Amino acid sequence: MDWSERANCREADPDLFFPIGDRGPTLVQIERAKAVCHDCPVLERCLDWALRSGPLEGIWGGTTEGERRALMRRPAPGTDAAAA
């Protein structure tokens, strides 16, 4: 079984996970999508997939596009960022 078949979002409206913008009423939509992700049994696998897949629109692994970009800029755990 593919991990995505166990995702909470399979039972939700797909449009919820693809907000237009990141201001005003759209923030409510983003929070609603993240709430679906919050207790998802495959949250970590989804986020990992989204980070490895490159730029993706929408909410994946409980994160927005901007949040994933910020995660990708962080040094990997166990690396010495000061030495870079």
Specify the number of domains making up the chain: 1
- 22 inside domain: yes
- Identify the residue whose tokens are 């907000």: 19
Highest averaged pLDDT of the listed ranges 12-16, 73-77, 78-82: 12-16
**In the predicted model, is pLDDT for residue 82 greater than 70?**
no
Question: Is 83 inside any structural domain?
Answer: no
The answer to whether 46 is annotated as binding is yes
Range of the domain at 62: 3-73
- 10 annotated ligand-binding residue: no
Residues 6+ apart with CB under 8 A from 84: 75
The verdict on residue 15 lying in a domain is yes
Taking Cα atoms as reference points, which of 17, 42, 13 lies closest to residue 29?
17
Q: Is residue 38 assigned to a domain?
A: yes
5 is in an annotated binding site: no
Residues 67 and 54: beta-carbon distance below 8 Å: no
pLDDT digits (tens, 9 = 90+) for 9-68: 999 999 999 999 888 989 999 999 999 999 999 999 999 999 999 888 999 999 999 999
For the entire predicted model, the pTM comes to 0.83
